[in-house]
Structure 1
């Protein structure tokens, strides 16, 4: 049996995991508040509180908070948590530091399914959008694993995912370019954005996302055992096939729902687990907890940067994550240990 491929452990930051996680939660709360307050006009935290507790639609600032900025922030929290945790589970389960739902075609499969559904049916409800995204993500995940199943090396999986992503993205673009109505509705969603999302999609997606997040956080021990190698995992009483199947199912749900909510945002699932391991080391129980917090933190920061980087226009959050994620991918791909795996 082939030896397990292990993700190279980065140098760890000297911080207690519990204290660091509490600090990350505090930072997320501050960034979430800034996301609600910041915009073309600044809204004070007091006004935000009034909009939540004593909503007056006659006040334009409270109307903006309730109908635009709060939904935008909630989309960032949900999609960021889903993609961050999905990336952490995926990298650990396939033992590949370059694994990411965007790079392996999972997000692209969800996006294509939604676009095909919209073109076929004309309009989608919140539930149909989420179910289509899940179906597309599941099919893409199955295809990329079938393409790479003959080799356990990280390069084969990466190449298969990259090829599948290119094919699915091209198909999505072809559909959008031949259907003006679909293109007009989804041109910002296609690059990943937190704005203009129907509340029905967010609510239904959250109903699927919350249980998946809870289930994913419980996988830490199983992933730790799996990292020791299949033989040792079996000797410790863990069956690898069910554990891998459950991990794949959780990744599909997290990635599919996040894509349905915010569009195909790339590189977030790649960056977050590496940042988490810098703080926690290889213990997946802490890596997963950090990923749930760091994912929305980075996505909301990207969205805030996009609001002011190209003013008065805005850059979608997916564009910002791609700008910062691409150099990280190049650095990781050039690491000696990965090349020798």
Structure 2
């Protein structure tokens, strides 16, 4: 733990918020269309209807807001999953939650030609919930009950299953393939504020509840027997935490598709900085997750300019070596 006192942790959080704000401003300014910081300022203070101002207002700004929201959501979901399962590899992507949410959205697009953002959101929640509870159920089989390694294997199996089913649907429906291919790689390109406003009430509520749960998760982390001895209703805490994870992961997938590795990398980085106190881990995950996804999205615009790489590819490039490192360390908290 690098930041030891509450004053230093608070200072670090404020600094992180400043970096996130600067990153979002850079996301608004930089891209294929040649714009400047001055032009961006004028787009929001002296709008003149030019192409550049329209791009800055209707394309770049929503993209920056969505990147910060999705990154924060996935990071918090990963931190809650790791705390709940005591598994350092737990994340919405590894446990198949993202894949389940994505599968249900693809069903809606390919079989029922659904185009409603609100419908996408609810289907993503449903798919995330089914995937999460299936992984928990499968991981609980056997004499030893629920263990980190069994959860990881069950999650990997469910992720592979949902991904295969998704690909199968798209193979027989080429029109749907054109609609969702870029989305399935994990991308916030081309999203507008309607995409964000359709899920922000649910994600905002989940953020708030996760903060309320933080002290209870600290108690639960000491062991279930100790938590029960202190009067905690552990089953209720686990169930509410699971629903928060489903809302955060499902809402993120509804906006941007299944983006991986944010939920693995950021919680470990947050704990490295400020320790295991979830009253600090959760807000740090929100800020650091937002920074990671916004910066990754900026990088994705320049790798094969004038084309764009999906931001999910960028997070995979960053996250894969980290995943291998955590896996080689073993299951130690």
**What corresponds to 1:115 in structure 2?**
106
Per mean C-alpha deviation after superposition, the further-off stretch among 121-130 and 157-166 is 121-130
Q: How far 1:132 sits from its partner (Å)?
A: 0.5
Is this contact kept in 1: 2:58–2:192, CA < 8 A? Answer: no
Correspondence list, 1:164-313, <5 A: 164-313=158-307
- 337 and 202 in structure 1: CA distance in 2 versus 1, 3 angstrom threshold: closer
Q: 2: distance between equivalents of 1:106 and 1:336?
A: 23
Determine whether 1:49 maps to 2:41: yes
SS of residue paired to 2:302: helix
> 8 Å contact 2:77–2:245 — kept in the other structure?
yes
Work out whether 1:90 is the aligned partner of 2:86: no
Correspondence 1:40 to 2:27 = no
- Partners of 1:196 and 1:313 in 2: how far apart? 13
2:14 pairs with 1:22: yes
Contact 1:266–1:321, Cα closer than 8 Å, also in 2? yes
Cα offset, 1:314, TM superposition: 1.5
- Do the aligned partners of 1:80 and 1:295 also contact (CA within 8 Å) in 2? yes
CA distance in 2, matches of 1:51, 1:206: 25
Question: Which runs of no fewer than 5 residues in structure 2 stay unpaired?
Answer: none
Alpha-carbon shift at residue 42 of structure 1 (Å): 3.8
Give the alignment of 1:125-140 within 5 angstroms. Answer: 125-140=116-131
Which range is displaced more, 12-21 or 61-70?
Answer: 12-21
TM-score, normalised via structure 2 length: 0.95
Deviation at 1:208, TM superposition (A): 1.4
Match of 2:316 among 311, 317, 322: 322
Shift of 1:312: 2.8
User: Given that residues 220 and 234 in structure 2 are in contact (C-alpha distance below 8 angstroms), is that contact kept between their aligned partners in structure 1?
Assistant: yes
Instruction: Report the alpha carbon displacement of residue 313 of structure 1 after superposing the two structures with TM.
Output: 2.2
Structure 2 counterpart SS, 1:264: coil
Q: Which segments of 5 or more consecutive residues in structure 1 lack a partner in the other structure?
A: 1-10
For 2:231 and 2:4, the matched residues in 1 are separated by 34
Deviation at 1:60, TM superposition (A): 1.3
In the alignment, which of 52, 55, 71 is matched to residue 80 of structure 1? Answer: 71
How far 1:262 sits from its partner (Å)? Answer: 0.6
Write out per-residue CA displacement over residues 114-168 of structure 1, whole angstroms, 9 at most, x where no aligned residue: 0001122213211101000000000000100000113332111000000100010
Does the Cα contact within 8 Å between 2:63 and 2:192 map onto a contact in 1? no
Deviations 1:156-197 (A, max 9, x none): 100000010001011111111221111111111000001122
CA contact (8 A) 1:20 1:279 kept: no
User: Which residue does 2:132 correspond to in 1?
Assistant: 141
Change in Cα spacing, 1:52 to 1:177, as seen in structure 2 (3 Å) is: farther
C-alpha separation between the residues in 1 aligned to 2:126 and 2:147?
Answer: 27
RMSD: 1.5
| 1:216-256 Cα shifts (integer Å, max 9, x gaps) | 12211011000011111112111100000000000000000
Aligned: 1:61 with 2:52: yes
Number of residues of Structure 1 aligned to a counterpart in Structure 2: 328
TM-superposed deviation, 1:198: 4.7
